[in-house]
Amino acid sequence: MIVPADVPLLRAARREPTPFTPIWLMRQAGRYMPEYRAIRARHGFLDLCKTPDAAAEVTLQPVDRLGVDGAILFADILLIVEPLGVGLEFAKGEGPVIHRPVRSVADAERLQPIDVDATLGYVFETVRIVTRALADRVPLIGFAGAPFTVASYVVEGGPSRDFLATKSFMYEEPAAWDRLMGILAGATARYLQGQIAAGARIVQLFDSWVGALAPADYRQFVAPYTRRVIDAIGTSAPVIHFGTGTSGLLAAMRDAGGDVIGLDWRVDLDEGWRIVGEGRGVQGNLDPAVLLARPSVIRERAADILRRAGGRPGHIFNLGHGVYQQTPVEHVKALVDIVHELSDRR
């Protein structure tokens, strides 16, 4: 069986009325869950991503434990760059490291198109396993990193706060930037198409670090490539277009595409939706730090977001970014129950 098209998450993505506001959480399968930590004790991170049975188990863990309205695929946005040959490593305690960053024209010219099917088939197998296990309960959410965010890791060599190497490369070598972004956009489109073909019913494009850019730079150096990815998905699945620190970019992100625009906690939901416009849904936007507070505070903040949404079709409740590893599991479960209770329209 497959998840029917009228489940709340898919209806909300199409801006159709729902019996309650659907909720899922970024990083809902992660280190805050003891079940996840138990699996991680047996697998390195890349090994876990590349072991479909284990990755599927992690993907499924929160569905029954939390009662969320969607399962988010367990993977990583940088899996797609490993085939580029830039030396991806997930160093213990350091996060992702790129040992051969792309910082020159010569570096960019050495890059070759990524054979997604040959190199990322293990992700598609995870999707198939999860889809079978979910049956008709909730949809699986596939995802990928957006070209800019992935490119920023490739250029910087890892995480960054100021993105100076990325911006310098973008400004100084626009043709090389175009080559890098073009390769990433093409591979990302094929990667998401493969996830959808394997069973994902909705996908999210994570442009987590795009908030570092000025609006004009976003429109010139990022939007064309993001649009290329989203246009390639077409009507095969709804697309959630997400970024952080993007209060000044929401209109430009809307124009780049997506059925639903993700909002972080730095903008009030009603104001963000006004900027995005009634023709798109919105997702968000609780500060994940609120989940460290007592349940009465969680309830108060969730109620405020729901009030700002006003029961309008098209709202998917989520955090403004991922669940922190220090978060008590019972607080996450409380949020899911609170959102379902306060938004019940039956």
Please pick, among 15, 32, 69, 76, the residue that the annotation labels catalytic: 76
Establish whether 76 is a catalytic residue: yes
Give the orientation angle of helix 269-276 with respect to helix 295-309, to 10 degrees: 30
Read off the tokens for 74: 């367990």
Q: For the chain, list the domains and their CATH numbers.
A: 8-342 (3.20.20.210)
Percent of the chain past pLDDT 70, that is, above it, reads 99
Strands 315-316 and 281-283: parallel
132 is catalytic: no
Which one is catalytic: 31, 128, 137, 299? 31
Rounded distance, CA 68 to CA 39, Å?
A: 21
Exposed, middle or buried: residue 38 (CB in 10 Å: 0-12, 13-18, 19+)?
A: exposed
Within a 13 Å sphere around the CA of 287, how many CA atoms are in the beta-carbon half? 13
Q: Encode pLDDT of 75-123 as tens digits.
A: 999 999 999 999 999 877 668 999 999 999 999 999 999 999 999 999 9
Pairing of strands 202-207, 239-243: parallel
Q: How far is CA 286 from CA 23, 74, 143, 291, 317, in A?
A: 11, 22, 20, 9, 8
**Which residue among 32, 69, 103, 153 is the active-site one?**
153
DSSP assignment of 265-320, as one string?
A: TTS-HHHHHHHH-TTSEEE--B-GGGGGS-HHHHHHHHHHHHHHHTT-TTEEB-BS
Structure letter (DSSP) for residue 23: B
CA distance 191 to 82: 13
Task: Quote the percentage of the chain above a pLDDT of 90.
Answer: 95
Q: Pick the catalytic residue: 11, 14, 40, 312?
A: 40
Distance CA 103, CA 88 (A): 15
Q: Between the CA of residue 267 and those of 148, 305, 327, what are the distances in Å?
A: 22, 11, 23
Residue 16 and residue 6: Cα distance in Å, rounded?
Answer: 9
Q: What is the pTM of this model?
A: 0.97
Q: Residues in the chain, how many?
A: 346
Confidence of residue 1 (pLDDT cuts 50, 70, 90): low
Whether 42 is catalytic: no
How many CB atoms neighbour CB 337 within 10 A? 15
| Residue 14 pLDDT greater than 70, yes or no | yes
Is 259 one of the catalytic residues? no
Out of 27, 190, 201, 280, pick the active-site residue. Answer: 27
Known catalytic residue: 40? Answer: yes
The total of other beta-carbon atoms located within 10 Å of residue 89's CB is 15
Joined together, the tokens standing for residue 201 give 């019913």
Query: What would the pLDDT profile of 310-346 be if each residue is shown by its tens digit?
Result: 999 999 999 999 999 999 999 999 999 999 999 999 8
